[in-house]
C-alpha cells in the first residue's frame, strides 16, 4: 500500500473550471462510436496522417498453395515487411515466418475452407481466441455475396464481427467475387454494403473503372482495395492512384507486389501513391529508380 504520509494537498487545486473537455472525432469514416480497443488497433493499421494504409497481402497460400512469388515466405515476404503498414496473412505464416520483432499490425486471415481445386468460399471461421493469442489487429473473413455460399459466408462475418466487438478487434469483410459476377460498381457497392451492415469494420473490395466513388460513398466504413491479378507495374500504380482518388482508405495488395520484377521497389512506389499522393507517372519513375538502385547494390 502507498505510504499515506507526506502526501501534499495543494490549497489551490486546478480543476480546469471553465475549460471544456476536448472531444475529438476519430479520423476514419464511421469509427467515431467504436470502442477504444478497436480504435487503437485501427490506429496501428491506418496512418493517422494520411488516414490510409498499405496492407501487404500474402494469405493466398490458404487457397492456392505455393503460388508464384510466395514459394518461400521467408525469402519472398520478410524483406518487404518494413515497407508495409500492415500484414495480411494466415496464422501459419505468422507462427513460422513473420518475426514477432517486426512490430507490424496483423490482419489475420480468419476464415478458411475450400481451395481453388474445388469451389471457393465454402468456409468456416477460426476461434477468435486464436486472433487474440496472435495479437491480431484485424480479423479478415471472406464474404461471397451472390455466390453459392452467400448465407454461410455472411453468417461467418456476423459471428466474427460479433466476437470482434466483444474483444475490441476490428473485422474486415473480404468481398469474394465469383467468376460469373460482374465487378462493376453496382455489384461491388452491394457486396461492400452487405459486409458493413453485417458488422465489418473495414471492407476489402475491388476497384472498378466506372463509379468507384459510389462504392466508397455508399459504404459507411473504410474501404481498402485488393490488387487482383498481376498487372504491369505502371498499370498497378494507376489502379492504386485511381482507387485513392475515388476515396479508398488504402490498398490490400498481394500479387502486384510480390510478383513484381522488383517487389521491394514496388511496395515503396505503392506506398508513395497511397500516403503521398504521387501520381502514376511519378510513382512509376520512383519504382524504376529504386529498382535500378537495388540492382546496382
Ligand atoms: C484473396 O482471397 C486474398 O485474401 C488476397 O489477400 C487478396 O486477394 C489480395 O491479394 P491480391 O492483391 O493478390 O488480389
Binding pocket residue ranges, ligand 1, CB within 6 Å: 57, 59-60, 88, 174, 226-228, 252-256
Helix ranges, the chain (H): 36-45, 61-64, 73-76, 91-96, 128-133, 150-167, 185-197, 212-217, 233-245, 255-258, 263-276, 280-296
pLDDT category of residue 13 using cuts at 50, 70 and 90: confident
| 230, HSE (Cβ side, Cα atoms, 13 Å) | 12
Domain boundaries, the chain: 36-260
Supply the pLDDT for residue 23.
86
Mean per-residue pLDDT of the chain: 95
Residue 103's CB: how many other CB atoms inside 10 A?
8
Query: Candidates 56, 57, 206: which one to mutate for ligand 1, based on the most atoms within 8 Å of Cβ?
Result: 57
Instruction: For 104-140, give one letter per residue: b (16+ CB within 10 A) or e.
Output: bbbbbbbbbbeeeeeebbebebbebeebeebebbbbb
Catalytic residue among 13, 204, 230, 291: 204
For 61-98, write each residue's pLDDT tens digit.
999 999 999 999 999 999 999 999 999 999 999 999 99
pLDDT category of residue 297 using cuts at 50, 70 and 90: low
Average pLDDT over residues 137-152: 96
Distance 217 CA to ligand 1 centre (A): 23
Q: For domain 36-260, is the CATH number 3.40.228.10?
A: no
- pTM (predicted TM-score): 0.93
The grid cell for 161 is 464481427
Amino acid at each position: 500500500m502507498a505510504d499515506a504520509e507526506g502526501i501534499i494537498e495543494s490549497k489551490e487545486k486546478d480543476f480546469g473550471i471553465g475549460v471544456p473537455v476536448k472531444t475529438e472525432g476519430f479520423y476514419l469514416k464511421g469509427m467515431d462510436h467504436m470502442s477504444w480497443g478497436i480504435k487503437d488497433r485501427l490506429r496501428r493499421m491506418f496512418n493517422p496522417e494520411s488516414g490510409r494504409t498499405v496492407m501487404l497481402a500474402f494469405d493466398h497460400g490458404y487457397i492456392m498453395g505455393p503460388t508464384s512469388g510466395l514459394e518461400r515466405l521467408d525469402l519472398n515476404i520478410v524483406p518487404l515487411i518494413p515497407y508495409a503498414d500492415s500484414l495480411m496473412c494466415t496464422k501459419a505464416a505468422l507462427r513460422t515466418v513473420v518475426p514477432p520483432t517486426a512490430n507490424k499490425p496483423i490482419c489475420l486471415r480468419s476464415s478458411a475452407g475450400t481451395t481453388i481445386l474445388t469451389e471457393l468460399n465454402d468456409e468456416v471461421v477460426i476461434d477468435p481466441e486464436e486472433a487474440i493469442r496472435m495479437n491480431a489487429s484485424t480479423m479478415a473473413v471472406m464474404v461471397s455475396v451472390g455466390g453459392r455460399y452467400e448465407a454461410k459466408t455472411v453468417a461467418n462475418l456476423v459471428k466474427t464481427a460479433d466476437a470482434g466487438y466483444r474483444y475490441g478487434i476490428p473485422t474486415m469483410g473480404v468481398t469474394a467475387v465469383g467468376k460469373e459476377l460482374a465487378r462493376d460498381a453496382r455489384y461491388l457497392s452491394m457486396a461492400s454494403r452487405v459486409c458493413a451492415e453485417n458488422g465489418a469494420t473495414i471492407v476489402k473490395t475491388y476497384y472498378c473503372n466506372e463509379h468507384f466513388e459510389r462504392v466508397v460513398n455508399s459504404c459507411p466504413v473504410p474501404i481498402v482495395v485488393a490488387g487482383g491479378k498481376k498487372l504491369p507495374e505502371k498499370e498497378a500504380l494507376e489502379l492504386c492512384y485511381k482507387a485513392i482518388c475515388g476515396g479508398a482508405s488504402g490498398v490490400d495488395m498481394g500479387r502486384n507486389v510480390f510478383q513484381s520484377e522488383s517487389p521491394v521497389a514496388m511496395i515503396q512506389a505503392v506506398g508513395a501513391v497511397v500516403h503521398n499522393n504521387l501520381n502514376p507517372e511519378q510513382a512509376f519513375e520512383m519504382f524504376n529508380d529504386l529498382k535500378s538502385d537495388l540492382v546496382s547494390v
